[in-house]
Structure 1
Amino acid sequence: MRRIDVIVVGAGPTGLFVASELALRGVRVCVLERLEEPDPTIKSGSINVASAEILDRRGLLPAAEEVQRRRMAATGSFTAGRSNRLVRELEGAAMRTSRRFPVIGHFAGIMFRHDLVDQDDPVLAAHTAVANGIVVPQHELELLLGEHCARLGVEIRRGVEVRGLRSTGASLDDDADVVVETGAGDFSAGWVVAADGGRSVIRRRLGVDFAGTDPEMVGYQAIADFDDPSELRRGWTWTPRGIYTYGPVPGRVLVARFAPQPEDKDAPVTVEELQDAVRDVTGVPVTITGLHGRATRWSDNARQARNYRRGRVFLAGDAAHVHSPFSAQGLNLGLGDAVNLGWKLAATVNGRAPAGLLDTYEAERHPIGAWVLDWTRAQVALLRGDERTAQLRKVIGGELFAVPGATDRMLALSSGILQRYDVAEDADGPVGSIAGDVELTSGTRLADHAHDGRFVLVDRSPDGRYAEAIRGAEDRVASVADPAPLPSLFVRPDGVIAWACDDDADDARKLLDAAIQRWVG
C-alpha cells in the first residue's frame, strides 16, 4: 500500500483546486474520483469575481477569458435579433481596458441592473481586472483545473469509488495516518481532504453532524430541444408555481417549483419529468423532444457540517455545505474553501506551519459558509408564488435596489469580494479583506507575483525597509519593491491582506513581524 502525503476525494472544482494548491508547494497528492470522465452535466453557468480572482492569482485568468470569449460567441448566435438584458450586460460588462466591474447575476431572479451600479464605488473599482473571466461554466472550469493539475504533476485516478476510511491509530481523532478504502484497494495518506459532494461518503463515515433546513422546492436544469419554445420567456420569470429562465445558452432551461421531493432523488431525470416541471411552472404546453447530456435535479436543502475537520481529515466544498444553487454560490464557496485550506495544509505537510495554522481553516470558512446558506435561504423565501411575496419583490427590485448604493452593496456581496477574516488583533482598514486588483509601478499586478502560491510582500517604503522582515523565508514569501505613496501590503496565498501599513506608522515593522510570525512561522 503506497503512502501519499495527501489524498483528495473528489475531482470537482473544489477537489482539483485544493490538489493543485498542494502540488504547487511540492506536496505529493492523489485525487480519487468515482466518475470515469469529467461530468459534462450542465450545472452553474459562471463564477463570481472572487473566484475569478483566485484563478488570476494562479495565472489561470487567460484560460478563463478564453472560455468566456467562446461562451459569448455561442450566446450571441442564439440571441441574434432578440432582446436579452443578460446578454447585453455580459457583452457590455467590463473589458479590462475600460476598468468596469462586471454587472451580472441576480438576487432571487431580480437581475442586477447596470444602470443602478456606480462604477466609481471604491469597493467595486478595486476588483475589475477579472471582468472577462467570469462566464466560466462548471464543466469548463473542471477541464481548466484538470489541465492545471496535470501541469503540476497531480495524480488523478478516475473510476475509483471511495467506500470509507480508517485510521492507523486507535481512532480517526488520533494524530496518525489515514487509510482510504476503495473498490480499487486501500490508499494510505498523512492527510485526507473530502471534496466528494453533498452526499459525502467521508463525512458520513466521520459521523459529522450535517444540520440545516429541509427543502421546499425541486429544481431542474438542462439543455433541451423543444418543439416550439417561442412562448418561453428569456431571463428570470416568476410564476405562481415557481420561477424559470430560458437561455441565453441555446436550449438551456432552468426551472424550480415549490413541490414535494421525489421519492427517489438518485433516479435519472427523464424527459417526461422535466417536461412536466417546465409545463407546470411556465404554463406553456411545450414538448421536449430531446436532451443534450443529462438533466440535473436539485433542491434548496440547506445544511452545513458542524465541523470542517476531524483529526487528519478535512471537509471542503459541498461535503461541508449544501444549499440551493442560485447565483452559483456553491461553486464559489467551494473554491474559497480550497484556496483557504490548500496553502495551510501544504505548510503543515512541509513542516513549516506555525502553531494552530490548520485550525484557522474552520474558524475562517465556517462563518462564510453559514452566511451563504442564509443568503440562499433568503432568495428562496423571495421566490414564493403568492401575491404578497410578488409585491415584496416589486418593492425590493423596484424601490430598494434603486436607492443609491443598494445595488452596489448587493452586487459586491454576491460577487464574494466583501468576505473578511479576523487575521490580526485590532485589525482595521483593508487587513482581513481580499486584496483585489493591486497595480504596481513596474506595470505588473500583485496577482502576477502570486502564481507560485507564495505570500507576497509589496514593499512601498522609499528605502525597501520591510524586505528585511522576510529574510530567510524567501521560499515562502515573494518580496516586490514598489515605491509608491500607498500602503505597503503583506498578502497571504489566498489573496487575503494580513498586514497593511503606511510608512510613517511607528509600529509598522512590529505589526509586520507579528503577521509573518502568525501566518508564515
Structure 2
Amino acid sequence: MQQRSDVIVVGAGPTGLLLAGELAVQGVRVTVLERLAEPDPTIKSGSINVASAEILDRRGLLPAAEEIQRRRMAAAGRFTAGGGTAVTRGLVGAFEDSAPRFPVMGHFAGIMFRNDLVDQADPVLASHTAVAGGIAVPQYDLELLLAERCARLGVVVRRGVTVQGVRGDILGDGDGDGGHGDGAVIVDTDAGEWSADWVVAADGGRSAIRKQLGVEFIGTAPELVGYQAIADFDATGLAHGWNWTPTGVYAYGPVAGRILVARFGAQPEDRDAPVTLAELQEAVREVTGTNVTLKGIQGRATRWSDNARRVGRYRHGRVLFAGDAAHVHSPFSAQGLNLGFGDAVNLGWKLAATIQGWAPAGLLDTYHAERAPIADWVLDWTRAQVALMRGDERTRQLRAVVGDELFAVPGATNRMVALSSGIMQHYDVADDAAAPVGSIVGDVLLTSGRRLADFAHDGRFVLIDRSADGRFADAVRLLDDRIVHVADPTAEPDRPSLLVRPDGIVIWAAHAADEPAEATKRFATARLRWVGTH
C-alpha cells in the first residue's frame, strides 16, 4: 500500500495541476497521478482568457505568463509581418502598447473580435486590464508553469501511471471529520494502489473514473469532426485567421503551419485512432477548397468533436470531478481550459477547508451549485457557435448579419468580448447582494500603489478595509490563518471595502456612505457563511 495522501488528483493537465497547487498552498498533502510520462506537447489551446490570467495573477504567476506571451508574440509577429491579416497584425500590436487595455482575443463561430470596435472606456472591461500581458499562453507552456509551482509546493506528481478505477469508502461524505475517517478511497493503477481521503477526477473527457462509477453524463451528440495540428505544407491560397466555408470552418496561424479544420458529417469509427496524414489532408482540402498537400505533421495531430455534456453531479461522495472529466464541448473560443481553471480554484479552497475541519456547513456542496450553471452556459455558448458554422445558405446569411451588423456595434462587441473572456461569471453568494458581490474581483489598486492580487498569493481570503478607523480588523483578528487584512483607508465613494474569497469572488462590499452597523452586520454574515467560525 502506498503512502496515504489527503487528496489524490487524477490527471496532470492544467486543471489537475492548478487544483493540486491550490490544495498544497493551503497545507493539504496532494499526490497527482498522470498516465503520460511527459507533458504532452501536442498543440491544443493557444491561450487563456482574462479570468484565467487573473487566477495566475492572484497566485503570483503573472510575470512568468507575461514572459511566455512576449516570446509567443515575437514569433507571431514574425509570422504575420509578411502577409498576416490586419486583424492578426492588430492583435500582435495591441500587446506592444504600454497603455492599460483590455486584451481582445478570440472569436465567436469563427467571427473574429476586432480591437477597433471595442470601447476600452467600458467600465466592465476597464476593471480587468492588469493581465493583458499574460493571456497568450499555450497549454503546453501553461502545464510546465503549473508543474513548477507544484514542485515548489511539495506536490508529489507521479507520471506514467494509468489509473484503472477507484474503490473503498467512496460514498462516505467526510464532511464531519475532514475526510479522515477509518475508511479511505483506494485508487487502483497499473503501478499499484494509492489511498487518500479524497479523490478528484481531472482525467479528461473520457474519464476512466467517471465511467467506472457510472456517473451520469448529460448532453448532446456531436455534429462535426475537427482536427488541429502543426503541419509542413505550402499555405498559398489559405487565408490567415478564422474562415467559414460551405463545408466547414478553418483557421490558419498565428504561427506557421498551425492549421485547424472542422467539418460537419459522420464521426470516425474509432475516435482513439491516431490521426493520419492522409486523414488530415483530406479534411483540410475539403474545408479550405484548396488542393493543399501536407508533407508531414510536427508532433501529433488531434481529433475532436462538439460532443457537449456534463456530469449530473460534480461530487460522488469522496470523489469529485473537475475539468474535462466534468464537462466536454467543442474547443471554439477556447472555453474548455478556462472552464477547468474555474473548477480548480473554486474547489481547491473548499476541499482544503473541509479536510482541515473549518468549512462551514455545506461548503463543499457549493462546488456543484456554483460551477454546474457556468458549465451549462459554456455548453450553450459552444453549441450556438456550431449552429452558426453550418454550411447552408441561411447560415451564411445569418453570419453576415451577426458579423457585419451586430458585431459592428461597439456595445454588442463589448458584451461578447466580456462574455468570452470569462469575467462575467457570477455566483449567488449572498442574499439580496448588490454588485460587485458575487462577481470576479478584477483589478483593485490600493492607495499604496500595490494591488489586491499581491495579497492573494498564499490562497487566503483578502479583506480590503477602506474604513477610516479600520473597524473590520477586530472581526478577523483571530482568523489571520484564513483572512489577510489590508488597511487601505479612503473616503472615495466608488472604492468600497471588499472581502474576497480565495477564488477571487467578492462576497461582501461596503461603501463609505453605508450605515456602519448595517455594513458590519453584512460582513459578519458573509464571514460566517464562507469563512466559518473561530
> Same-fold call, TM > 0.5?
yes
Which residue in 2 is equivalent to 1:461?
467
Q: Distance in 1 between matches of 2:156 and 2:252?
A: 39
8 Å CA contact retained: 2:77, 2:89: no
Distance of 2:470 and 2:97 partners within structure 1: 31
Match of 1:505 among 494, 514, 520: 514
Q: Which moved more, 1:61-70 or 1:89-98?
A: 89-98
SS in 2 for 1:98: coil
Residues 468, 96 of structure 1: alpha-carbon distance in 2 compared, 3 angstrom cutoff: farther
Amino acid across the alignment from 1:494: D
Matches of 1:34 and 1:498, distance apart in 2: 38
Residues 166 and 172, structure 1, Cα contact 8 Å, conserved in 2: no
1:66-215 counterparts in 2 under 5 A?
66-94=67-95, 97-168=98-169, 172-173=171-172, 175=174, 176-215=183-222
Equivalent residue in structure 1 for 2:306, among 271, 291, 300: 300
CA distance in 2, matches of 1:166, 1:289: 48
1:345 corresponds to: 351
User: For 1:323, which of 326, 329, 354 is the aligned residue?
Assistant: 329
Query: Could you tell me whether the CA contact under 8 Å between 1:492 and 1:498 is conserved in 2?
Result: yes
Distance apart, 1:230 and its partner CA: 1.0
d(CA) in 2 for partners of 1:285 and 1:217? 22
In structure 2, distance between residues paired with 1:16 and 1:83 = 35
**Which of 477, 480, 498 in structure 2 is aligned with 1:489?**
498
CA distance in 2, matches of 1:364, 1:432: 10
Secondary structure of the 2:391 match is coil
Once the two structures are TM-superposed, the CA of residue 97 in structure 1 deviates from its matched residue by 4.0
Q: Could you say which residue in structure 1 is the equivalent of 2:424?
A: 418
Residue 32 of structure 2 aligns with an amino acid whose one-letter code is: V
Partner of 2:361: 355
Contact 1:93 1:101 in 2 (8 A): no
CA distance in 2, matches of 1:218, 1:84: 26
CA distance in 2, matches of 1:438, 1:257: 44
Cα 1:440–1:34 shift into 2, 3 Å: same
Amino acid at match of 2:263: R
CA–CA distance in structure 1, aligned partners of residues 467 and 98 of structure 2: 29
- Residue-by-residue CA offset, 1:28-80 (whole Å, 9 max, x unaligned): 00000000000110001000000000000000001110110111111112222
The residue type paired with residue 224 of structure 2 is M
Amino acid at match of 2:28: V
Greater alpha carbon shift after TM alignment, 102-111 vs 172-181: 172-181
Corresponding residue number in structure 1 for 2:64: 63
Give TM-score, length-normalised by structure 1: 0.98
Q: Could you tell me how far 1:400 is from its partner in structure 2?
A: 1.2
Distance 2:296 2:43 in 1: 15
Do residues 28 (structure 1) and 29 (structure 2) align? Answer: yes
Q: Counterparts in 2 of 1:273-288, with a 5 A limit?
A: 273-288=279-294
Residue 472 (structure 1) aligned with residue 478 (structure 2)? yes
- Partner SS for 2:472: helix
CA distance in 2, matches of 1:174, 1:103: 43
SS in 1 for 2:353: helix
Q: Is structure 2 residue 403 aligned with structure 1 residue 364?
A: no
SS of residue in 2 equivalent to 1:166: strand
Moved more, 249-258 or 500-509: 500-509
Structure 1 CA distance for aligned equivalents of residues 94 and 509 of structure 2: 31
Q: Distance in 1 between matches of 2:346 and 2:57?
A: 15
Report what 2:180 is aligned to.
Answer: none
| Residue pair 1:279, 1:286 contacting (<8 A) in 2 also | yes
- The residue number in structure 1 matching 2:267 is 261
- Aligned residue for 1:44, secondary structure, equals coil
Is it true that 1:235 corresponds to 2:246 in the alignment? no
Deviation by residue 1:84-127 (Cα, 9 ceiling, x = unmatched) = 23432322335684111011110001111112111000000000
Secondary structure at 2:408 match in 1: coil
Question: Alignment identity in percent?
Answer: 71
TM-score by length of 2: 0.96
- Which shows bigger deviation, 49-58 or 108-117? 108-117
**Is the 2:39–2:144 contact (alpha carbons within 8 Å) kept by the matching residues of 1?**
yes
Q: What SS is found at the alignment partner of 1:517? A: helix
Distance 1:467 1:492 in 2: 17
> How many pairs does the alignment contain?
518
Distance 1:341 1:27, change over 3 A: same
Distance (Å, rounded) in 2 between the aligned partners of 1:280 and 1:22: 47
Q: What amino acid is aligned across from residue 214 of structure 1 in structure 2?
A: A
| Structure 1 moving runs of 4+ over 6 Å | none
Q: What amino acid is aligned across from residue 40 of structure 2 in structure 1?
A: D
8 A Cα contact 2:314 2:326, kept in partner: yes
